[in-house]
């Protein structure tokens, strides 16, 4: 069976890692890159990743806007932008997505796959839960700082299982171990409870994950956030069990020397993804009648910091 034709929208750190690992197995993979200087650099040098994974690939199909994707008729489109761009990207895909096209949200945050489903239907939507952390080291290069294998990929409807398995296999063969799972939302909750909790705490205090967990003042806030998120997840149908926190803290110990990406957003005075992180826990809590005072406070502190430089 032929490999699916893949398009990747958003070639930041996440998109660079996904693209580099796919291109070795699937050289027809398309990259949508809006910035002219980035396109020129990729044309000249290809795209590569270092660190926990090392690979380099040339890019055969380099596009400069989403509308060009329609002509190529991809089987699957990965959206690797920041979450606050998701709505506009989906809007730009109107008329581009064909009957057989599937869309994968590769974002940080809760509920992004549901946004895809709301626009194009659940039968079109897949989600990838990433267990690596990466930073850009150039216009066409990224470093994978850590990778707690594997990543997880899943669909909102069972009919997409076959294409999901094929894409997961391509990533794994390219060195980015990926497992297809039947209930991707469970894996998203497991990962995002940690991300949602630590992102705002690290951003507001400018601490690494390790520092925030070791300082009693910030650890108390984290413990309160974890308890709230677990209660909200359970209300949404995901009881993560008595051992979850032990596993979560073990995971965070491996990545703890790094600052969360929201720290970089605050430092660079750019928009954060708080609405799909801590803000989404608050939103879900309100839907289910569960108080989330720790999350509400931390999310609003981040929004207040954003307000000062974005206004």
Mean pLDDT of 129-140: 94
Cβ(177)–Cβ(168) under 8 Å? no
Mean pLDDT of 90-119: 96
Domains of the chain: 6-182 (3.40.50.720), 186-310 (1.10.1040.10)
Q: Across all residues in the chain, what is the average pLDDT?
A: 95
Q: What is the pLDDT of residue 59?
A: 96
Mean pLDDT of 1-16: 91
Q: What tens digit of pLDDT does each residue of 177-225 get?
A: 999 999 999 999 999 999 999 999 999 999 999 999 999 999 999 999 9
How much of the chain, in percent, has pLDDT values that exceed 90?
A: 91
Asked whether residue 1 carries a pLDDT value surpassing 60, the answer given is no
Alpha carbon distances (Å) from 18 to 34, 72, 161, 201, 302: 17, 19, 20, 28, 29
Mean pLDDT of 113-140: 96
Asked whether residue 134 carries a pLDDT value surpassing 70, the answer given is yes
- Residue 101: pLDDT band with limits 50, 70, 90: very high
- Residue 258: pLDDT band with limits 50, 70, 90: confident
What pTM value is reported for the model?
A: 0.95
Asked whether residue 74 carries a pLDDT value surpassing 80, the answer given is yes
Q: What is the pLDDT of residue 56?
A: 95
How much of the chain, in percent, has pLDDT values that exceed 70?
A: 100
Asked whether residue 109 carries a pLDDT value surpassing 90, the answer given is yes
User: Tokens at residue 31, please?
Assistant: 């990259």
- Alpha-carbon distance of 192 to 262, in angstroms, equals 14
DSSP string covering 34-93, please? Answer: --HHHHHHHHHH-EEEEETS-EEE--SEEESSTHHHHHH--SEEEE-S-GGGHHHHHHHT
- Alpha-carbon distance of 76 to 289, in angstroms, equals 37
Q: What is the pLDDT of residue 256?
A: 77
Asked whether residue 76 carries a pLDDT value surpassing 70, the answer given is yes
- Strand partners of residue 305: none
Q: What is the pLDDT of residue 248?
A: 95
Residue whose structure tokens are 């469970």:
186
What dihedral angle (degrees, nearest 10) is formed by the CA atoms of 3, 17, 256, 277?
-80
Burial of 76 (0-12, 13-18, 19+ CB in 10 A): buried
Asked whether residue 123 carries a pLDDT value surpassing 70, the answer given is yes
């Amino acid at each position: 069976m032929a490999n699916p034709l893949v398009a990747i929208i958003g070639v930041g750190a996440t998109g660079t890692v996904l693209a580099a690992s796919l291109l070795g197995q699937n050289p027809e993979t398309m990259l949508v890159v809006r910035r002219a200087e980035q396109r020129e650099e990729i044309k000249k040098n290809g795209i590569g990743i270092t660190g926990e994974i090392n690979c380099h690939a040339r890019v055969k199909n380099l596009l400069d806007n989403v509308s060009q994707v329609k002509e190529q008729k991809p089987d699957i489109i990965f959206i690797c932008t920041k979450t606050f761009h998701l709505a506009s990207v989906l809007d730009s895909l109107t008329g581009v997505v064909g009957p057989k096209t599937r869309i994968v949200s590769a974002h940080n945050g809760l509920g992004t796959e549901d946004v895809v489903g709301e626009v194009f239907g659940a039968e079109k939507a897949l989600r990838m839960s990433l267990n690596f952390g990466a930073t850009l080291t150039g216009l066409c290069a990224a470093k994978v700082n850590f990778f707690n294998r594997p990543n997880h990929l899943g669909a909102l409807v069972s009919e997409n299982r076959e294409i999901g398995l094929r894409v997961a296999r391509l990533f794994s063969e390219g060195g980015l171990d990926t497992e297809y799972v039947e209930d991707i939302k469970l894996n998203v909750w497991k990962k995002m409870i940690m991300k949602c909790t630590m992102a705002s705490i690290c951003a507001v205090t400018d601490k690494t994950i390790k520092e925030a967990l070791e300082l009693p003042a910030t650890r108390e806030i984290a413990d309160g956030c974890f308890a709230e998120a677990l209660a909200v997840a359970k209300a949404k149908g995901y009881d993560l069990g008595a051992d979850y926190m032990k596993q979560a803290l073990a995971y965070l110990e491996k990545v703890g020397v790094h600052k969360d990406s929201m720290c970089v957003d605050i430092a660079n005075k750019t928009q954060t993804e708080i609405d799909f992180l801590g803000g989404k826990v608050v939103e879900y809590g309100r839907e289910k009648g569960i108080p989330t005072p720790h999350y509400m406070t931390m999310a609003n502190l981040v929004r207040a910091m954003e307000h000062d430089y974005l206004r």
